[in-house]
Every structure is written in C-alpha cells, then in structure tokens.
Amino acid sequence: MTTVSEFVNRAQTRPEPETLGRIVDALTTNETSFFRDGEPFNQLVTTVLPDLTSRRAANRNLKIWSAACSSGQEPYTLAMVLQDALPVGWSFDIVGTDISTEMLRRAEAGQYSQLEVNRGLPATLLVRHFERTGANWKVSPALRKSISFKRLNLAAPFPALGPFDIVFIRNVLIYFDVETKRSVLQRVANTLRPDGWLFLGSAETTIGIDDRFERVVAGRTSAYRLRSAPKTVTTSAAGKG
C-alpha cells in the first residue's frame, strides 16, 4: 500500500487480525508505573482490606481485577501490597487485562528496565520481589504465581469474569465518551460482588454516569461501591498476624 488512505480503507473493509492488533498497539495509551498515584494503594490497606477480611473470613480469599493494566505494573503492585497486608492464611487471585497484545506480552514476561523500576518501586520491594537479569529486573515466581493476564476490550461485551471483590480500572475512562463510560461501568458493576470495591483514576467518577455506584471517601482519595452494598466494616484491621 502506497498511501495512508489505502491502508485505512483496507483495514476497514478487509480487516486482518494481525493488522488490527498492530493498529491497536500503536494507538493505545500505555502510560503506567509501580504504585501509581500512591494513595489508592494506601487506602486498599487501611480501608478496603479491613472491611473485606471481615466479610470473607469463611473462605479467606480475595479476587481482584486490574483492568487496562498495560505492561503489568499495577497488578504486580497489588500483589506486593496484598502479600504484605493480608493476614496469615489468606490467598488472592489477580486478573490483569488489556486490549494491547504487545502490552500483555510484556506483562506476562514481568521484566522491567532500571528506569521502569525506578518509577515508584521502593528499593526494599525491588530486592524482595525481583531478580536481576542482565540490565533488567524480572518479577519473582512467588509474586507472579497469583496473577493471570487476559486480553479484553473494555468497550465491548465482557467474557465471563468475576465475581471480583476489588476492581481497579484507573485512568482509562477519561478517554471514553459518556455513553461508553456508562456501558463500561454497567458491565463492571456486573462483575463486582455486592459488597465489592471499585477504584477509578483521580480524574474519573461514576457521578452523573451510573447511579448504581456511590462515592466513598477513603483518606485522600475516593473509592466506589454499589449503593446496595452493606455498611463498611471498620472494626478489624488487616495485617500479618
């Protein structure tokens, strides 16, 4: 093909999966980092886990979805937080999804440059959870074992997912129009347990978009719960014990 117009026409009229995948990889925004924005992970420990460990005492397992996870820093951050914060005897499963096959390949590999680990990852956690491999750092098998990655387009019907206790879908809704945001939040609500928790990006909200959710102030950030959710439990504390 000799012109952009010819390429676009062919992609629209005779789409080839490999070509469409490369277009998606080229167009998607993949900005991410370890412990991005900080406060949501603090509130995961101080607000969300005390509530959920009280409610899930019978099965001692939590299921978490990291949506639009890009190259994997968010799900690996969640795994590090949960390993330290959950009481002894608890387990967790994290699903990371993204539309970009290239980003999912990187997330699966769990290998990061020195620059990437320098962006938000404390040195103590780097030493504990990563192994040197040449000039890069690779996630340890112990951290990787509770995480799976899948391709998912948030703007299309979801495959079978959940139910989840916690959903992180941060810094992606800002790229959608209101109707797409509404349809995504409706599908997310269907994957969330009735008493589950939803974290959005700091510039995102469900207010005026999906009234099934209500905003919950959590420290210096906000989280969201279904309005039908039972009252938050705050009497117990999550932690090693």
Residue 230 has a pLDDT of 73
Encode pLDDT of 195-237 as tens digits.
999 999 999 999 999 999 999 998 899 999 999 877 665 444 4
Domains, the chain, in order of start with CATH, read 1-30 (no CATH), 32-226 (3.40.50.150)
**Would you list the DSSP string of the chain?**
--SHHHHHHHHHHS--HHHHHHHHHHHS-----TTTTSHHHHHIIIIIHHHHHHHTTTT-EEEEEE-S-TTTHHHHHHHHHHHHHSPTT-EEEEEEEES-HHHHHHHHHTEE-HHHHHTT--HHHHHHHEEEETTEEEE-HHHHTTEEEEE--TTS---S---EEEEEE-SSGGGS-HHHHHHHHHHHHHHEEEEEEEEE-TT---TTT-TTEEEEEETTEEEEEETTSPPPP-SS--S--
Encode pLDDT of 19-55 as tens digits.
888 888 888 888 899 999 999 999 999 999 999 999 9
Residue 232 has a pLDDT of 60
More confident residue, 234 or 171: 171
Encode pLDDT of 122-136 as tens digits.
999 999 999 999 999
